Amino acid sequence: MSDLGHVLVLAGGVSFEREVSLASGRRVSEALRNLGVDVELVDVDAHLLPRLVNDPPSAVFVAVHGVEGEDGALRDALDLSGVPYVGATGAAARLAFDKAVAKAVVSRAGISTPASVALQHAAFRDLGGPVLLDRVVGRLGLPLVVKPVRGGSALGVSVVRESSELPQAMVGCYSYDSVALLEQHVTGTELAVSVVDTGDGPVALPAVEIEPVSGAFDYAARYTAGMTEYHVPARLDSGVAAAVADIAVTAHRALGLRDLSRTDVIVTADGAIEYLETNVSPGMTATSLLPLAAAAADIDLGALCRDLLQHAATRGMSTPGAPA
């Protein structure tokens, strides 16, 4: 058995990514168990906090995706319960989970990101939907990507090529979140760069290149094996690969993250690297990107998760509500 003690993997919850999260949680738990770690997979519900108080684990691995796992509230609750956990603090998660805020923060760190605007539904209602959409198109051009400002797994995301498609995309997006990010659609090589830090500083894993068979990396393409072709390491020359890795680590630091993250970027045909978003609770499923990157670096997923838990346990509890 590991000397880590009893650890919990949190997964599930009521977010739209519950199913993905449960798959992530099962995979992490199994990988840890294979190394002899005393691990238990636990859903996020009303039983969790009493459980943490009555039987505190030595550390928690947060495999909850979507709002519940990444908007900071769960992490704040873990801090309030005095339980160490793997991953960003609540404040940092909150920052990174809002794509518009994350883009602004990362942009200030000198990283290029596609032009965008984040608008609440109320702005369209008060100022006139069609008129404001015209302004957006006039300024950002087409095609555009419409996405919920908070969310993952491409849920509620649409690529809009004609103005006439925008209203439907907006309605679909606002069903997921009250704020929509309208972003210039950048094409090129899609990359996911995972960053891990087991105590010696953040290190980028090999970039994963994503080539969806249908052309769109939507929900089905992400979670149906066979619908996307992955290249690990990505087919990049060494200079671009190093620049991409540097951007992921810079974003990780700029957002005040810790332990692990995954940054998505696009390398355009002219070699520009455009930042899209950073995920503070990367997927760990059989088709997820961080495990692919770890495998390419000859890092065992279970050993990585164990080391991250050990690092968290050693670090101890965070101050609730501490700034990122």
Partner 1 sequence: MEISGGSRLDPYVDRYAERTHGMTTSEIRALFAVANRPEIISMGGGSPFVSALPLDAIGEMTAKLVAERGAQALQYMGGQGDPRLRELICGVMALEGISASPDDVVVTVGSQQALDVVSRIFLDPGDVVIAEAPSYVGALGTFTQYQADVVHVQMDDAGLVPDALREAIAQVAASGRRAKFLYTVPNYHNPAGITLVEERRDEIIAICAEADLLILEDNPYGLLGFDGPPLPALRARVTEGVIYLGSFSKTFASGVRVGWAVAPPGVKEKLVMASEATTLCPVALSQYVVAEFLAHHPWQEQVKVYRELYRARRDACLDALAASFPTGSSWTQPAGGFYVWVTLPEGVDAKAMLPRAIQGRVAYVPGTGFYADGQGRRNLRLSYSLPAPDRVREGVRRLAAVLDEELDIVSTFGAGALEA
Binding part of the chain for partner 1, among 80-88, 122-130, 248-256, 302-310 by CB under 8 A, reads: 122-130
To the query of whether residue 256 is one of the catalytic residues in this protein, the response is: no
Nearest to 154 by CA among 276, 254, 249: 276
Q: Which is nearer to partner 1, 188 or 320 (CB)?
A: 188
Q: Cβ(305)–Cβ(28) under 8 Å?
A: yes
Q: Cβ(156)–Cβ(18) under 8 Å?
A: no
| Shortest distance (Å) from residue 289 CB to partner 1 | 11
Q: Among residues 129, 143, 188, 320, which is the contact residue for partner 1, using CB under 8 A? A: 129
Q: Among residues 85, 124, 217, 275, which is the contact residue for partner 1, using CB under 8 A? A: 124
Q: Among residues 231, 246, 253, 315, which is the contact residue for partner 1, using CB under 8 A? A: 231
Catalytic residue, candidates 177, 197, 264, 274: 264
- Distance CA(244)–CA(263), nearest Å, equals 10
To the query of whether residue 139 is one of the catalytic residues in this protein, the response is: no
Q: Among residues 61, 85, 97, 174, which is the contact residue for partner 1, using CB under 8 A? A: 174
Q: Cβ(63)–Cβ(281) under 8 Å?
A: yes
HEC-encoded secondary structure of 95-107: HHHCHHHHHHHHH
- Distance CA(71)–CA(150), nearest Å, equals 8
Q: Among residues 213, 242, 272, 322, which is the contact residue for partner 1, using CB under 8 A? A: 213
- Distance CA(259)–CA(255), nearest Å, equals 12
Binding part of the chain for partner 1, among 30-38, 96-104, 191-199, 224-232 by CB under 8 A, reads: 224-232
Catalytic residue, candidates 12, 17, 81, 183: 17
Nearest to 195 by CA among 284, 253, 262: 262
In the block, tokens 């190394």 appear at 35
Q: Which is nearer to partner 1, 89 or 158 (CB)?
A: 158
Nearest to 72 by CA among 56, 46, 90: 90
Catalytic residue, candidates 209, 262, 306, 307: 262
Chain residues in the site for partner 1 (CB under 8 A) = 14-20, 22, 45, 121, 124-125, 129-130, 133, 153, 155-156, 164-168, 170-172, 174-176, 211, 213, 219-220, 223-233, 286-287, 292, 295-296, 298
